[in-house]
Amino acid sequence: MLIATLHRIIFLSLIFVPSSVFAQESDSLFRTSRVPILFFVVLFSIVIILYTRWAKLGKTLFIRKIAGLDAVEEAVGRATEMGKPVLYIPGISEIDEIETIAGIAILGRVARITAQYETPLIVPVRYPMVLAAGQEVVEQAYSEMGKKDSYHKDIVRYVAGEQFAFTATVNGIMMRDRPAANIYMGGFFAESLLLAETGNAAGSIQIAGTARPEQLPFFIAACDYTLMGEELYAASSYLSHEPILLGGLKGQDFVKMILVICIIAGCLLITLDSGDWFKNIFRAE
């Protein structure tokens, strides 16, 4: 499997060599300036494959605890005890945004927990494509938990296509239905504080996650738990513990560590005025 993957990487690197390279006889067949890039791609692939294999073999892979994700089941349990619903908002962006995809992935896990506890779930969305994706994910989650009879399409509902009309509608749901738990996972904009403050006023436990740094202060101030930046993207791996997802997550962490080491080494070499050769390695031509 590893050899086949390396063959594909090398083949793709040859495909994307510009035709001008082959047109000039004096040029080399390979673009030697891209060798460092190829090296990092191969290294990244090998690391992900190794971590995925270790996860499938049952080896324990360390993942830092994320308090906000550990509190999801507690929040749903609280809603179950109080006989109140759980409100989940997968952001207000379109389905082609990575934050929305992450929010939909986490929705699947939350839906499994609500199906298991038979807790009402409310998922308001802004776009039709997000509506279709959310309905499919929730239906699958209920089916996997053997609760398909409890599923209905109104769990995921389209409320409004305009930003603040959506916000006003969701705020109305919070004040009328008084959900015991509000979970915000995805891309949010100016409505973040309006939603979080209303949920706080309604007495809900609130868990938020977004990769938009300008909205994080509002969620931190008004929510009980907040996932910051890449914690949102790691949530699906953290909650599911699927080997493929864990392998990708650990592989990314390993490569980030390598890049941080390279940055520190580069800074030291440049400071000592002897880093031109090191800088040329990462120069794109």
How does pLDDT run across 139-164, given as a tens digit for each residue? 999 999 999 888 998 999 999 889 99
Task: Give pLDDT, residue 283.
Answer: 66
One DSSP character per residue, 208-233 reads EEES-TTTHHHHHHH-SEEEETHHHH
Q: Which fold has domain 67-240?
A: Rossmann fold (3.40.50)
Q: Which residues pair with 205 in a beta bridge?
A: 181
DSSP alpha helix (H) spans, the chain: 2-15, 19-23, 35-56, 67-82, 98-117, 128-144, 163-177, 192-201, 216-222, 230-240, 243-271, 276-281
**pLDDT level of residue 233 (50, 70, 90 thresholds):** confident
The overall average pLDDT reported for the chain is 83
Cβ neighbors of 21 (< 8 A, separation 6 or more) are 27, 28, 29, 31
Asked if pLDDT for residue 26 goes beyond 70, the answer is no
How does pLDDT run across 120-134, given as a tens digit for each residue? 999 999 999 999 999
- Name residue, tokens 């809603």: 79
How does pLDDT run across 169-205, given as a tens digit for each residue? 999 999 999 999 999 999 999 999 999 999 999 999 9
- C-alpha of 161 from chain center: 23
**pLDDT level of residue 263 (50, 70, 90 thresholds):** confident
Q: Map out the domains of the chain as residue ranges.
A: 2-60+242-281, 67-240
How does pLDDT run across 49-88, given as a tens digit for each residue? 888 888 778 777 777 778 888 888 889 999 999 999 999 9
**pLDDT level of residue 247 (50, 70, 90 thresholds):** confident
Percent of the chain residues topping a pLDDT of 70: 85
What is the rounded CA–CA span in Å between residue 60 and residue 174?
40
**Torsion over CA: 176, 190, 125, 99 (sign):** negative
What is the rounded CA–CA span in Å between residue 84 and residue 72?
15
For residue 103, what are its two tokens?
Answer: 């929010």
